Structure 1
C-alpha cells in the first residue's frame, strides 16, 4: 500500500511539473523591466514581449570566425613595388564566412530560381545579366574552347568554383541567398506556408520573398500557423501572430561579400596559433600570435607551400597555383597540385578556421572599393571603404516601396539632413579622404590611372598566379562590372552575440563574482 501511494505521489508530482512547465497551473514569476518595473511578456502590462537572448545561428555553408586583432597588410617583400599594403594593426569583430568558394552548382541553383520566378519576357535583361561570362576562358593564343562550353555547365565541374562572375553579380547572389535562407527558416518554423515556393517558381515575378520587404510589411507571402505549440509569437494583447519580426530571433542576418579586413583575417586562421582556445568560462587561451604567416597556413618548414606531415602527402603543394612559367601542375606520373585550372572547392588544405582555398585556386571578390593607401586612413576597428549610406524610398507610400524584382527601393541619404551629425556628414563615403574635395586627390580614370570608385579589391591569388599572390596580405583590383577566369567569390555574414563563439556558455565581456567593496 505504501509503495502504491508513493508511486501515485511521484506521478502527481511529474504531472504538476509538466503543468507548471506549460504554464497551465503554476506560472513562473514574470521578468520585470529594470527601468519601469513593468512585467515583460505580460499582456496585462503592455504586452511587451522580450525573447530570451540567443546567439545567431550559423547559416548554411558558413563557419564561425572568432574575431580579434592582427597585422593587416604585407607579409613579405613588396617585389611588385605597389606600396598598397603597408602593415598595420587592426581588429575585426567575430563573423561567419563560407567554408568554400561558391561553386558552379550553387550559382546554377541561383539561375534556376531566376529563370522560374522571372520567366516573363519583361525580365529578359535581368536573366541575361545574371549569367556568368563563359567567354573569359578565351585567349587568342590558346585552345580553351572546351572550358567556354563545359566549365560552368557540365556536371563534372559541379563543385568547382564559379568564375566569370563580376562583383555586381556576386553582390546580387548574396541578396538572393539571404532571401532563400530566411524564407526557408520561416517555412521550417511554420510562419510561411511551404506552397509559397511553388507560387514563386510559377512565374511569381515581383511577388517573391525578400527579407527586407517582408520586415517592412511590403510582402506577406502565405502566412501560416507556427509548428511549435505553446511557443507562438504574440502581439500586445497576447494574441498569436503570424508575422515575424527581426527581434524574434528567427531570421538570419544578410549574406554579403566579406570586407577586405574580414577576408584577410579569416585567411590566416590564427586561432590555430592559440594553444588553448576557450571553450567555456573555466578555460581561456593565451593572447598570443607567435608568427606572422605568409600564406593561409602556419609557417612549417620547406618553402611553406608544401605539406610537412610524414606520409604519402609529404612534399605535396597545399594550394592550387602556378609554380613557374608553363608549370601549372607538375609532371606526368608525379603531378603535384593536380589541377591545371581551378580545382574542387573542398580540395587542398583547410586553415585554422576550417576555411578552404584562401590561398590559391581562384582570386575572390571582397566588398571594398580599392584605393592604394586606404590602410592609412581607415578605422582600426572593422576597417572598410565603400560606404554609401542609404534609406528606404517611402515616397510611393505603403505598398509601393518595392522595385520590379520585389526588393525595397533605396535612395541615398540627403546630405542636408545629416550635416549636423558628428560621425558623418555625407552619404557618399567611397572616396572619403582619398578622392574627395577634402583630400585634394583626383583619379583620372583611363588617363593617369585605372582606379575609380568602381574598382573593387580581389584577394588570395589563383591557379594562374605565382606564389607571391597567394599571401592574404597581397591585394589587387578589378572593375566591379568586369570578370575573369581566375576570379570567384565567397559570402560572409555578420555575427551578433558573444565574440568568442556560438556557445550559450560564453558571454561578451568579463563577469567577475559579485563582491562588496571593503570600507
Structure 2
C-alpha cells in the first residue's frame, strides 16, 4: 500500500512533515486543581446552574439557566479601593489640565498623539491634590472646593471618560463614550433617613480612614460601571501583566443578575444559603449569634453586631469564598430590571441589557439590585429575591462588586478515554 505522504509527493502536494503536526490534537486531561488561581481580591466561580425567577410569587416557577466560569470579588468594593480610583482620576486631570509639568510625562506619545503620563513619577506624589507643595497647591486650586472647612475635590470636574458598547432596545448596539463624575454622594445618609441622626456618617463615612474597609456606598450605577472599567485597565497593566492571564483579552464589569445569584447561592454546599444553617454562628454557652447584617424587626438593627454597615470581611464567606452576599449592602448588577426578564432572556449566561438615555423615564433606567442590606428585613436576603433602583440614584445601602470572565477547567468527566 502506498503511504499518504508518498501519494502527496507523486501528486506534488505540500510536504507531509510540515503539515501533519497541526492535526495531532493533544488528549484532554483532568485539571489537577478544581479552581483557577484568581487575581488578588477575587475568587474563582466554576460554571453552574440556578433556578432563575422573576419574583417570589409562588405561581412564578422560573426556569433553569447556566452561567459560565468567572472570577468575582470576594468582598464588596471598599471605601479605600474607591478612593484610589478617585485619586487616579484626579491625578490624571491635575497632570494634563493644570500642572503641565514635563516630569510627569513620558518621552513617547500615545496612539492619539497625546503625551502619556509617567505614573511611576506621579505615584510618588499622589494624590497630587493633597500635595503640600505651595506651587502645586496654587495651580490645582481650580480643581478644589471647601467642604466642612477642608479642601475637597470639585465633583463637577473629577470625571472619568470611558467607552463601551451601548445596548439599546432589541439587538441594537453601538460604541459610545461616556464622561462620568466619580465622586460619591456623601450626604445620602441623611437624605435616605432624614429623621435619623446620621450626619456623623455624612461627614466621615467615605473620607475617614477608620471606614477604609467598609463597603463604599453613595455610588450610582454609572459610577460603579466606571470603576469596573478603570479597575480592569489597571489590572491588565499591572497585576495581570506577566501572569498566566496576560495573553487574554479580559475586562471587569458589574456581575450580571444570574452571575450574582449563582455566586450568592454557594452551590458547592447546598446548606450554605441564607435559608440554611449558616445564618447564625455558635456563640458562648451554646447560644446562636446572627451572622448576617440586616434589620431583624421594627426598630431592631443591633442584634447582628452593628446598626448600619460593617467591614467587608465580617462574619464568614460562603462556599465559594465570598463575603456578605446577603446583607451589609445591596449590590448593583449589570442588568436592566423587568419583572418578567427571566422568562425571555437566554438560558446560557442570561443578561437583560439596556443603557438608558438621559431623557428616558425612570421605568427604563431601573437596574437590578440584589442581596438586601443592613436596613432590609430577612425576606430581602434570599439569593433569588429581586429588587431595583434607578441608575442615577445613590443610596446609603447600595454598593457593588466586580466580576471578570474565566475559562473552565477540564474535569475528569471530559478527559480523553481510550
TM-score range normalised by the length of the shorter chain = 0.5 to 0.7
Deviations 1:36-78 (A, max 9, x none): x9xxxxxxxxxxxxxxxxx975222110111212222379666
Matches of 1:464 and 1:490 in 2, distance apart? Answer: 19
Structure 1 residues 298, 31: CA separation in 2 closer, same or farther (over 3 Å shift)? farther
Aligned to 1:372: 339
1:112 Cα deviation after fit: 1.3
1:149 Cα deviation after fit: 0.7
Q: Say what the alpha-carbon RMSD is for the aligned residues.
A: 3.3
The answer (yes or no) to whether the contact 1:306–1:314 under 8 Å persists in 2 is no
Aligned to 1:61: 41
Alignment of 1:416-455 (within 5 A): 450-452=362-364, 454-455=365-366
Structure 1 residues 179, 57: CA separation in 2 closer, same or farther (over 3 Å shift)? farther
Deviations 1:5-25 (A, max 9, x none): xxxxxxxxxxxxxxxxxxxxx
- Does residue 1:461 correspond to 2:365, yes or no? no
Aligned to 1:50: none
Structure 2, unpaired ranges of 5+: 1-16, 25-34, 99-142, 144-153, 160-180
Alignment of 1:60-209 (within 5 A): 60-73=40-53, 86-119=61-94, 120-121=96-97, 125=156, 127=158, 129-139=181-191, 140-185=194-239
Match of 2:251 among 250, 254, 274: 254
Matches of 1:162 and 1:89 in 2, distance apart? Answer: 33
Aligned to 1:408: none
Aligned to 1:269: 266
TM-score for the superposition, normalised by structure 2: 0.67
1:480 Cα deviation after fit: 1.1
1:150 Cα deviation after fit: 0.1
Matches of 1:481 and 1:32 in 2, distance apart? Answer: 58
Which secondary structure does the structure 1 equivalent of 2:342 belong to?
A: helix
Structure 1, unpaired ranges of 5+: 1-28, 38-54, 190-246, 274-290, 330-335, 389-429, 431-443, 499-505, 515-519
TM-score for the superposition, normalised by structure 1: 0.55
More helix by share: 2
Which secondary structure does the structure 1 equivalent of 2:383 belong to?
A: coil
Matches of 2:61 and 2:199 in 1, distance apart? Answer: 40
More strand by share: 2
Match of 1:496 among 403, 407, 418: 407
Aligned to 1:20: none
Q: Which has the greater radius of gyration?
A: 1
Deviations 1:201-248 (A, max 9, x none): xxxxxxxxxxxxxxxxxxxxxxxxxxxxxxxxxxxxxxxxxxxxxx98
Aligned to 1:349: 316
Aligned to 1:208: none
Which secondary structure does the structure 2 equivalent of 1:456 belong to?
A: strand
1:311 Cα deviation after fit: 4.6
Matches of 1:105 and 1:118 in 2, distance apart? Answer: 20
Aligned to 1:17: none
